[in-house]
Structure 1
Amino acid sequence: MPPPGFRRLAWNSGYGLTVGPLYEKDTEDGGYVRAFRVGPHHTNMLNNCHGGMLMGFADVAFGHVISHKTGLNWVTVRLVIDFVASPPLGAWVEGAGKLTGEDGDFRHIQGRIWVGDTTIATGTGIFKVWHVKR
């Protein structure tokens, strides 16, 4: 079960179905947090969350700030992640992005992934906006 306030994302096919379930909640400041619980299908041989899962989660957690604010779709152009810690099986992992700049159709995002008070990863990305509303 997710913590109170989180709702399951309605991804019933494709990537979200494969790596999910993924969750989201709105924050009091008008932002959002995306999350998942580390399951057996997310782990590496050390029983910690695989870096590939964290990278994919960073993509959907950081880039979501664009659609959350504008309703527009986006694609990832560049994503750089620094791994700081590794969440174990069963950990509740949260992440969000912050818009730091705009250049035409490109959005610059800074993001963070955490478990409780522990930072798991930080990163930056460049995302291209598609001018079609979701």
Structure 2
Amino acid sequence: MSDDLAPPPSLEAPDGYVALDMRRGFAREIGPLYRAERNGLFTMGFRVEERHTNGMKNAHGGMLMSFADMAWGHIVSVESSSYWVTVRLVVDFLSSAHLGDWVEGGAELLSREDDLYVVRGRVWAADRTLMTGTGVFKPIARRDPRPGEKAYAATNG
């Protein structure tokens, strides 16, 4: 008999979200992370688990920063099918996420100039905005396009 059980419904991702296949590095350690596409806009999400929390059972600020970095920088992947690095990330913490909360984040592209992507982002849980901010991201290496990315649509459409 296997010890593998389906996660409790409270830990499942909402409809429309699919798990990202992150098997290496830091993202593997803080995941699982999920992605959804609605009307051409991408959001990412995660469920706050015990390991994501601080002593008050809220999502640790470092976890939220890491998530914002990935959720906001994801727009570079969608736009350019590239690996990327963060040049600058500026955030304002506005509210807390609690153990068990589903947290989502996304960004809009403000400008793309000199191979730098400038975005404005938001992270939220239900109707609470947790963080807002801006980021600057730089593509560093092209890679094969993945489903949902503009280069993928161009080569497979």
Which residue of the partner structure matches residue 108 of structure 2?
Answer: 98
Higher strand share: 1
Matches within 5 A, 1:59-78: 59-78=69-88
Please state whether the residue corresponding to 2:58 is helix, strand or coil: coil
Matches within 5 A, 1:1-134: 1-28=12-39, 30-134=40-144
Please state whether the residue corresponding to 2:85 is helix, strand or coil: strand
Q: Distance in 2 between matches of 1:89 and 1:7?
A: 21
Could you list the per-position Cα deviations for residues 58-101 of structure 1 after superposition, in whole angstroms to 9, with x for gaps in the alignment? Answer: 00000001111221221100001100000000000000011101
Per the TM alignment, residue 13 of structure 1 is displaced from its structure 2 partner at its CA by 2.0
Q: Distance in 2 between matches of 1:5 and 1:126?
A: 28
Structure 1 gaps of 5+ residues are none
- 1:102–1:59 distance in 2 versus 1, CA, 3 Å: same
Per the TM alignment, residue 131 of structure 1 is displaced from its structure 2 partner at its CA by 4.2
- TM-score, length-scaled by structure 1: 0.95
Q: Rg: which structure is higher?
A: 2
Runs ≥4 residues deviating over 6 A? none
Residue type of the partner of 1:17?
R
The alignment-based identity, stated in percent, is 44
Q: Distance in 2 between matches of 1:9 and 1:40?
A: 20
Count, aligned residues: 133
- TM-score, length-scaled by structure 2: 0.82
Please state whether the residue corresponding to 1:46 is helix, strand or coil: coil
Structure 2 gaps of 5+ residues are 1-11, 145-157
Q: Distance in 2 between matches of 1:11 and 1:102?
A: 26
Please state whether the residue corresponding to 1:63 is helix, strand or coil: helix
RMSD: 1.0
